[in-house]
Amino acid sequence: MRFKWAASLKFKISLIFAIGLAIAFSINLLIAVKAIHTQKEEDVEKVLAHLLVESRDEYISGTQLTPSSDINFLYKIPHNVMIISDSEVNALRFVVSPNPYRTNNKIIVSSIKLTNNYYLNAISDHRKIDKATNKYTQRLLLQYVLSLIVILIIAIFTLDFYMKPLEVLAGKTRKWKNDSAFDLSLDDASSEIKEVSTAFTGLIKRLEGYRLKEAELFREAAHELKTPLALMRSRLDVYDSSNTYTKRQFIIDLGNDIERLTRELKNVLFLESSDFEEASDIEIMHMFKTLETKMGILIQRKRLTLQLPKETFSVVASEKLLFKVLGALLENAITYAKEGSTVEIGCNPLERKFWIGNQIGNEKYLFSSKIGEKILKRLSHEIGFDYSIMHDESSFSIELAFR
């Protein structure tokens, strides 16, 4: 795969696996070495005990040994020499004492009681035991290291095999072009990688859809904004070349053109990106009450009455996007309502719909322009509602029915 080896997931998994395996092998090695050393000590104790029994029964039977007795003959007994040569006994010493010798971490002792109540002790040091233990330790360490290397090689090849689909996924992503179908589905992959593939495919499709809708929106905006800009350019030309076009009329007409341009820009720009927000359960009237508080100053300034319904219902949608839509609808109903009139919000929970109605003034209502209708149509698909607009000379209302 085309990743730096030290930063790749395969390397990190192999490293963690190797560390864990090395720790397990180390613990196993320590336990094995300890067990071997203990077993060797027990074997030496058994050999020493056997030497004492054989010596007492065969060579010193009836002899009253004391600490001052000469016992050098015990070292020359052929049976003893033969047994010692085949064992880990080292620096053997025979000692007669009133009490048994005690074993410690430097020597190994076996004792036997004589008929005169003295004790015959056979003593050996650990030199041969330590040497034999080190020999076995080196063999085990070599075996563990070789096993670790073999296991790691197998693990790396196994990881490489199971992570091949990620390389395929990266290759598909690099080769994708705007004019080709985007398919990141993987057949021979683990469930986790398939889940990533599916999620990535969905994300790319969403991004592509948003990109296309954004491009369409800007094309529509460019088309709609050309008209007021062209009118303003024409009025400048007429004002420059005509003596009958008064300054006052020019200012009035240009102001209307600017107002129209501002309205169209507002239609295009009032939405900010909410494409990646998760849908949640939203109560419609709670959102309208929040908007009522937010727009209280505007309502008071125009001496309007905002009538909210008592009934309500909930929808599942992007809260941020729905708040922007309802806020834009209510703001424009208030802005363009006749001064001193009533703005009514009606609700039908059974049919999951609400409407906003007002008595219109002299200004043009939001979403009554072409670009405004196109934006509302786009939002109806994203949020999940159907809309209808009804108006006459004196009133205007817009109704949203949620699916």
- 382 pLDDT more than 80: no
- 314 pLDDT more than 80: yes
Among 162, 210, 164, CA closest to 190: 162
Q: How far is CA 38 from the centre of its chain?
A: 49
Three-state SS annotation for 234-250: HHHHHHHHCCCCCHHHH
**Domain ranges for the chain:** 5-147, 191-266, 278-402
Compute the distance between CA of residue 123 and CA of residue 112 in angstroms, rounded to an integer: 12
* Residue 316 confidence class, pLDDT cut points 50, 70, 90: confident
Q: What Å distances lie between residue 113 and 45, 116, 124, 167, 228, CA to CA?
A: 16, 8, 18, 78, 123
The two tokens of residue 88 are: 């880990």
> What is the percent of the chain where pLDDT is above 70?
82
What is the torsion angle, in degrees rounded to the nearest 10, for the CA atoms of residue 203, residue 204, residue 208 and residue 209? -30
Using only C-alpha atoms, the chain has a radius of gyration, in whole angstroms, of: 48
**For residue 395, what pLDDT is reported?**
82
Compute the distance between CA of residue 171 and CA of residue 168 in angstroms, rounded to an integer: 5
Residues in the chain: 403
Question: Over the chain, what is the mean pLDDT?
Answer: 79
The two tokens of residue 197 are: 């593939």
Q: Give the mean pLDDT of 333-360.
A: 86
Compute the distance between CA of residue 88 and CA of residue 63 in angstroms, rounded to an integer: 29
**For residue 189, what pLDDT is reported?**
63
- 227 pLDDT more than 60: yes
Among 206, 366, 186, CA closest to 277: 206
The single residue listed with the structure tokens 């009533």 is: 342
Among 86, 99, 14, 102, CA closest to 51: 86
Compute the distance between CA of residue 43 and CA of residue 48 in angstroms, rounded to an integer: 9
Please state the pTM of the whole predicted model: 0.47
> What is the percent of the chain where pLDDT is above 90?
0
Compute the distance between CA of residue 159 and CA of residue 165 in angstroms, rounded to an integer: 11
**For residue 367, what pLDDT is reported?**
53
- 137 pLDDT more than 80: yes
**For residue 220, what pLDDT is reported?**
66
**For residue 328, what pLDDT is reported?**
79
The two tokens of residue 134 are: 């080190």
The two tokens of residue 56 are: 């007492």
The single residue listed with the structure tokens 């800007």 is: 218
H or E segment and range at residue 107: strand 107-113
**For residue 238, what pLDDT is reported?**
78
Compute the distance between CA of residue 135 and CA of residue 127 in angstroms, rounded to an integer: 12
* Residue 273 confidence class, pLDDT cut points 50, 70, 90: very low
The single residue listed with the structure tokens 């052929």 is: 78
Least confident of 120-134, 248-262, 272-286, 330-344: 272-286
CATH topology of domain 278-402: Heat Shock Protein 90 (3.30.565)
Compute the distance between CA of residue 323 and CA of residue 290 in angstroms, rounded to an integer: 10
DSSP calls for 196-225: HHHHHHHHHHHHHHHHHHHHHHHHHHHHHH
- Per DSSP, helices labelled H in 66-114 are 78-85
When mean pLDDT is compared over 11-15, 115-119, 213-217, 391-395, the highest value belongs to 115-119
**For residue 1, what pLDDT is reported?**
43
H or E segment and range at residue 359: strand 353-359
Strand partners, 401: 353, 386
